[in-house]
Amino acid sequence: MKKIDKKAVLEKVKKLKIKFIRLRFTDILGMPKNVEIPVREFEKALDGKIMFDGSSIQGFVRIEESDMYLKPDHATFMVNPWEEEKDVARITCDVYNPNGLPFEGCPRSNLKRVVKEVKKMGFTAYFGPEVEFFLFLKDENGEATTITHDQGGYFDLLPIDLGEEARRDMVISL
């Protein structure tokens, strides 16, 4: 991933008139979590000084050890493309213990550690997401249902695959 420094991230926030930042991290089950902060707290966050209660996250720590820190990865900063006002951004963080060491239950930190170990052995690890999803119809009140949008499957074409335009919009947003 491209390196970007703290100053560049702060300039981007100012230029885009961001009001809130979501500090994202992953729990031990792989579920994304976040702590949302007002933009005035963002510089503190970039310095790794935003604490959160780790005992509130399933599988993290006991209440007696609840203080944890989020350290943002500057290269992951982006505006959420689906936000209507475009004034909310997100940044992915690693979870750290109060002693400054990476939290052993942070999947992201563990992956970084394993990649380094694999590299020392002379190998290169390659990773990538496999995004799978369904598109569901909405009911008369605009609420999601469990009725799928179409009957398309892998590699189908129109008119069976009605999700083509939605997927294109998603790809453009990436």
Residue 86's pLDDT band (cuts 50, 70, 90): confident
CA-CA distance, 34 to 23, in Å (whole number)? 5
Chain segment 125-148, per-residue pLDDT in tens: 998 888 788 888 899 999 989 988
| pLDDT for res 159 | 62
| pLDDT for res 64 | 65
- 141: CB partners within 8 A, 6+ apart: none
- Cα–Cα distances (Å) from 20 to 83, 91, 151, in that order, read 11, 11, 39
| 162 vs 75: which has the higher pLDDT | 75
Neighbouring C-beta atoms of residue 109, cutoff 10 Å: 19
Among all chains, which residue has been given the structure tokens 């100012």?
Answer: 14
Strands 20-26 and 88-96, how do they pair? parallel
- Cα–Cα distances (Å) from 67 to 31, 51, 52, in that order, read 20, 6, 6
Write down the CATH superfamily of domain 6-120.
Glutamine synthetase, N-terminal domain (3.10.20.70)
pTM for the whole structure: 0.76
CA-CA distance, 60 to 53, in Å (whole number)? 10
Domain residue ranges in the chain: 6-120, 136-173
The predicted model gives 66-84 an average pLDDT of 86
